[in-house]
């Protein structure tokens, strides 16, 4: 199960992780996302390049980060579906999702809530990371004990988690 929770960026053609590994590893190069200003160095994405120690002559490359590439390609790794939300709980649930998204993003700039929409009677959220949708569902379950959650995964074509919360 633990494997399922891991983001599998490397399997996506839109995410040239290999290129990033080579370019952004060690102290040599820096990759900047023109969309969100995230910076890739030392084998990880950061919110900015402020902590980059490569020096002023380090090569810089501009490339969409995996999260923005995913959004551009209308992809996602996590889907949260909330059914039959009681009217009085709607606002609280939306806030809760926002809070989980915010703290996930603060920890890792690649972990994002892509969208949150009302689809018919459901609320549907898409995330760049499968674990994020799952933890949103669990948070909702925690504050609404009577709701039921179901989590499922699809391996193909991508590692997508679908977390359904039903009231
Ligand atoms: Zn970006």
Per-residue pLDDT of the chain (167 residues; tens, 9 = 90+): 333 444 444 444 444 566 665 565 555 789 999 999 999 998 899 999 999 988 778 889 999 999 999 999 999 999 999 999 999 999 999 999 999 999 999 999 999 999 999 998 899 999 999 999 999 999 999 999 999 999 999 877 678 999 999 99
Count of alpha carbons within 13 angstroms of residue 17, beta-carbon side: 12
Structural domain boundaries enclosing 158: 78-166
Spacing, Cα 61 to ligand 1 middle (Å): 13
Q: CB neighbours of 157 closer than 8 A, spacing ≥ 6?
A: none
Burial class (CB in 10 A: 0-12, 13-18, 19+), 89: middle
Token pair in block for residue 137: 């569902």
85 in the same domain as 55: no
* Spacing, Cα 134 to ligand 1 middle (Å): 23
**Ligand 1: distance of its center to the CA of 113 in Å?**
13
**How far does residue 60's CA lie from ligand 1's centre (Å)?**
15
Ramachandran region of residue 116, left (φ > 0), alpha (ψ -120 to 50) or beta? Answer: beta
| Shared-domain flag, residues 85 and 46 | no
Percent of the chain with pLDDT over 90: 72
Residue 23 C-alpha to ligand 1 middle, in angstroms? 17
Q: What is the pTM of this model?
A: 0.83
Residues 106 and 30 in one domain: no
Give the whole-angstrom CA distance, residue 110 versus residue 104: 9
């Amino acid at each position: 199960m633990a494997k399922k929770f891991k983001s599998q960026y490397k399997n996506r053609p839109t995410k040239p992780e290999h290129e990033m590994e080579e370019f952004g590893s060690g102290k040599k190069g820096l990759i900047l996302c023109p969309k969100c200003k995230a910076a890739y160095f030392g084998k990880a994405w950061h919110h900015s390049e402020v902590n980059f120690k490569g020096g002023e002559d380090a090569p810089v490359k501009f490339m969409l980060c995996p999260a923005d590439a995913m959004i551009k390609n209308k992809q996602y790794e996590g889907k949260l579906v909330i059914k039959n939300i009681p009217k009085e709980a709607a606002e609280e649930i939306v806030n809760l999702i926002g809070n989980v998204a915010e703290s996930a993003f603060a920890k890792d700039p690649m972990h994002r809530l892509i969208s949150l929409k009302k689809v018919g009677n459901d609320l549907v959220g898409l995330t760049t990371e499968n674990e994020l949708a799952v933890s949103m569902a669990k948070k909702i379950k925690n504050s609404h004990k009577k709701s039921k959650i179901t989590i499922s995964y699809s391996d193909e074509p991508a590692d997508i988690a679908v977390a359904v919360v039903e009231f």
